[in-house]
Amino acid sequence: MPPSPDDLLAHILDETKFLVEDSARTDERSFMTDECRQRAYARSLEIIGEAAKQIPSSVKEAHPEIEWKAMSRMRDKLIHHYFGVDYALVWDTVASDIPKMRLALQEIRL
């Protein structure tokens, strides 16, 4: 049985919580030299993107304020870029986009 929209949203919120809380304990310079943290953030963004792809269209249409496609595109960039990841882009996404996205997602009631 595929995950429910509630389960998918919970996965996204779980990953955004990790990213917001962990990124508050570091800065870009430290992040760029911490391979474990880089990989963890990239993996979280992949999970967010994969879950976003599976959210039903009816939910996406009901919540156009959420950048569902941007989540999916980031996942695709990370998954299909086999010979390196742009960790500056990962940091920018986590530092700039994820906190706002998390707040918007917390308002969704399915």
Which residues carry out catalysis? 75, 80
- Tokens representing 37 are 């943290």
Judge whether 104 and 20 are in contact, CB under 8 Å: no
The span from the CA of 24 to the CA of 22, in Å, is 5
Give just the sign of the alpha carbon dihedral 42, 94, 45, 12. positive
What are the start-end ranges of the H helices in 24-95? 28-31, 35-54, 57-62, 68-80, 87-92
| Torsion, CA 91, CA 96, CA 102, CA 105, rounded to 10 | -120
